[in-house]
Each structure stands twice: as structure tokens, then as C-alpha cells.
């Protein structure tokens, strides 16, 4: 029924139903690819303490800055393909090298809070390394990518992580090791590669995932997990800032209270002295 006619008849407005995209709307912590191959949260859900903090009215409008995610790895391992599969649900067979850096923004809603992921898809070529360096800085998440059908790309993973970490010495980014093109392997090859990559992931202290941009295998699950871990870290960081700010404020208030007490004591004693000396006059 048109809204005008509804108003004229004084009927209540029809309820509006908001449909949330289940890909980007998270109410629970998505699980790791394998609980044995992650140095991060292995629980089935976000910590009750985190939920409690986020539900406090004080933190209802917690402003979280978009979080920077960088993808590194050899040329043509499939970095652009996994970002495109998640952001646009598309896959291209023909290879087009990324020139310099590509940038995508994906918006999530986690536990009712808006959270943006900035995905920086860097070119793997050595010749672009000089410009890519500037984009490595302040990464909250580093995704080290290798091609499951090319073992040498796994061997380069460590080198890529070291160069990314060189630009991120003050923060502690969440690290993932991601094997792409899972669709190209037989079951045996797949299992053999996962075993090898598991050792590398443990060495790099990274969470491990096998995915395929072509078939879409584990793409959504991976990005949801990435967003959730980045969100947990960002919230914790923000809460720490609020806590240290309020501790500073409390300390300043205490100091000024102390100095006031001191002044008052000085004032009283000097006045008392003056009165006493006044009496003797
Ligand atoms: N079979 C298969 N091919 C893929 C997959 N992901 C990427 N490719 C192909 O690998 C090539 C390089 O991918 P691209 O994402 O551009 O690599 P980048 O240089 O790391 O960004 C392209 O030809 C893609 O079509 C995948 O999951 N399966
Ligand atoms: Mg690319």
C-alpha cells in the first residue's frame, strides 16, 4: 500500500526489515582453518570479556579506524584473485599483473560495530618493491600468499614476511600463511602440500589456510576469520588507549587534589600564624 494512502488512513507504517549480508555481518568468532595450525584465538567464540566491554554504554560508539591488510608473495601466486573473489565474487583466468598497489575497502559489522578492512594488494615483482615498501607500513594484518601447485613459492614465503615485518616493527600484526589454487591439486598432492606448509606456518608463527579463488573454496571463511581477528586486536588496542587515558586523568586529578590540600594547609598555617602574631601585638 502506498505510504501516502497509509498515512491518510492512519495505519501504522509497515515494519522495515534490514537484511544483513551474512558474509560481512559477524556475531560469532569464525573458526580457524585448523585449530592446530594457529597461534591465535582457538576458542569457539569471542571472549565473554570482549563482548561485555563492547556492550557497555561507554563503548557503544567505539570508533575503530579501518584496519590495513597487506597481501605479499611471489608474482602470480593469486593475491589479486583472492581479493577479487571475496570483494566482487569474480574470478579471471587471464593473468594481469598488478602494477604497484591496488586498494579495496570492505565494510564489516562485527558484534554490532562497524569495522572497515583496507586491502592493499601489492605487486610481487621485485621491480615494484621500492614503491610497495611505503605501503607495507602500519599493517595490522599480513597475508603471506603462496601457490600450492608451486613449491618454490612456499620457500619464498619467509623472505616476504621478513620484508613486510621490517616496516612493521612497532606494531604486532596478525599473520596468515595462505596457500592458493587448491583446485589444481589432487587429494594426495593437496595433503602433502598442507603438511609442508604447516611446518612453514609454525615457523612463521602464522595461521594457516588453503583456499581457491577459482572455486571459492574457503574464501569467505578465510576473510571472515581475518576480519574477526583484526577486530579483536583493534578493540583491545582501543580499550587499552581508553584505559591508559583514564588512568592519566585520574593521576592528574589526584595530583591537583594533593597540591590543593597542600595549598590549603599552607594557607591555614600562615593565616593561623598571622592571627597569632596579631594577638601578641
Ligand atoms: N586454477 C587457479 N588459478 C588461479 C587461482 N587464483 C589465481 N589463479 C590464476 O593465477 C594467475 C595469477 O593470479 P593473480 O591473482 O593475478 O596473481 P598475483 O600476481 O599474485 O596477484 C591468474 O592467471 C589467475 O587466473 C586459483 O585459485 N585457481
Ligand atoms: Mg596481483
Distance 78 CA to ligand 1 centre (A): 4
* pLDDT at position 57: 81
Q: Cβ–Cβ contacts within 10 Å for residue 129, how many?
A: 13
Q: Is residue 108 part of a domain?
A: yes
pLDDT at 96: 77
Cβ(218) to ligand 1 under 6 A? Answer: no
Share of the chain above pLDDT 70, in %: 77
Between 213 and 102, where is the model more confident? 213
Residue 197 included in any domain: yes
160 located within any domain:
yes
Q: From ligand 1's centre to the CA of 182, what distance in Å?
A: 11
Neighbours of 196 (CB within 10 A): 15
Cell of 23: 558474509
Q: Which residues pair with 210 in a beta bridge?
A: 179
The more confidently predicted of residues 242 and 138 is 138
Question: Residue 181 above 90 pLDDT?
Answer: yes
Helices (H), the chain: 3-8, 48-55, 79-88, 129-136, 151-155, 157-166, 187-204, 219-280
Does pLDDT of 35 surpass 70?
A: yes
Candidates 95, 126, 132, 153: which one to mutate for ligand 1, based on the most atoms within 8 Å of Cβ? 95
Q: For residue 111, what is the domain's CATH number?
A: 3.40.50.300
Closest CA to 40 of 201, 214, 218: 201
Q: What is the structure's pLDDT at 56? A: 85
Q: Of 205, 244, 206, which Cα lies nearest the Cα of 225?
A: 206
Q: Which of 87, 132, 213 for mutating ligand 1's site (highest number of atoms within 8 Å of CB)?
A: 213
222, 137 in Cβ contact below 8 A?
A: no
Q: What's the pLDDT band for 33 if we cut at 50, 70, 90?
A: very high
Q: What is the pLDDT of residues 129-168, one digit of tens each?
A: 666 667 788 999 999 999 999 999 999 999 999 989 998 8
What value does the mean pLDDT take over residues 59-78? 88
Burial class of residue 32 (count of CB atoms within 10 Å of its CB; 0-12, 13-18, 19+): buried
In a domain, 235, yes or no: yes
Distance CA 198, CA 37 (A): 7
What is the arithmetic mean of pLDDT over 246-266? 63
If you average pLDDT over every residue of the chain, what do you get?
Answer: 84
Residues 6+ apart with CB under 8 A from 153: 73, 74, 77, 146, 147
Domain housing 71: 66-86+102-240
Domain count of the chain? 1
Q: What is the pLDDT of residue 108?
A: 96
Does residue 259 or residue 254 have the better pLDDT?
Answer: 254
CA distance 221 to 33: 8
Q: Is residue 32 part of a domain?
A: no
User: Would you say residue 273 lies in a domain?
Assistant: no
- Distance (Å, whole) CA 153 – CA 38: 21
93, part of any domain: no
pLDDT of 281 reads 34
C-alpha distances (whole Å) from 263 to each of 257, 269, 273, 274 are 10, 10, 15, 16
pTM: 0.82
Stretch among 108-122, 145-159, 189-203 having the lowest mean pLDDT: 108-122
Q: Which residues pair with 121 in a beta bridge?
A: 71, 102
Q: Is the pLDDT of residue 119 over 60?
A: yes
- Does 263 map to a domain? no
Q: Which atom of ligand 1 is nearest to the CA of 77?
A: 20
Q: Is the dihedral of CA 113, 231, 26, 212 positive or negative?
A: positive
pLDDT of residue 279: 41
Amino acid at each position: 500500500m502506498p505510504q501516502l494512502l497509509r498515512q491518510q488512513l492512519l495505519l501504522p507504517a509497515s515494519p522495515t526489515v534490514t537484511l544483513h549480508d551474512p558474509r560481512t555481518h559477524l556475531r560469532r568468532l569464525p573458526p580457524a582453518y585448523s585449530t592446530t595450525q594457529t597461534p591465535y584465538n582457538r576458542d569457539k567464540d569471542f571472549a565473554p570479556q570482549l563482548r561485555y566491554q563492547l556492550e557497555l554504554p561507554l563503548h557503544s560508539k567505539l570508533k575503530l579506524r579501518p584496519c590495513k591488510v597487506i597481501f605479499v608473495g611471489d608474482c602470480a601466486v593469486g593475491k589479486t584473485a583472492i581479493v577479487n573473489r571475496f570483494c566482487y565474487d569474480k574470478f579471471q583466468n587471464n593473468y594481469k599483473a598488478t602494477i604497484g598497489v591496488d586498494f579495496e575497502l570492505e565494510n564489516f559489522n562485527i558484534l554490532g560495530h562497524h569495522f572497515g578492512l583496507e586491502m592493499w594488494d601489492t605487486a610481487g615483482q621485485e621491480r615494484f618493491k621500492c614503491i610497495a615498501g611505503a605501503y607495507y607500513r602500519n599493517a595490522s594484518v599480513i597475508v603471506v600468499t603462496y601457490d600450492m601447485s608451486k613449491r618454490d613459492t612456499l620457500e619464498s614465503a619467509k623472505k616476504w614476511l621478513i620484508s613486510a615485518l621490517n616496516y612493521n616493527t612497532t606494531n604486532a600484526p596478525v599473520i596468515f600463511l595462505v596457500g592458493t589454487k587448491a583446485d589444481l591439486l589432487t587429494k594426495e598432492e593437496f595433503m602433502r602440500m598442507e603438511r609442508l606448509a604447516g611446518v612453514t606456518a609454525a615457523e612463521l608463527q602464522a595461521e594457516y589456510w588453503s583456499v581457491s579463488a577459482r572455486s571459492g573454496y574457503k574464501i569467505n571463511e578465510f576473510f571472515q576469520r581475518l576480519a574477526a581477528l583484526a577486530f579483536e586486536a583493534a578493540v583491545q588496542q582501543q580499550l587499552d588507549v581508553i584505559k591508559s587515558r583514564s588512568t592519566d586523568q585520574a593521576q592528574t586529578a589526584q595530583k591537583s587534589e594533593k597540591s590543593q590540600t597542600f595549598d590549603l594547609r599552607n594557607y591555614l598555617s600562615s593565616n593561623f600564624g598571622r592571627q597569632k602574631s596579631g594577638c601578641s601585638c
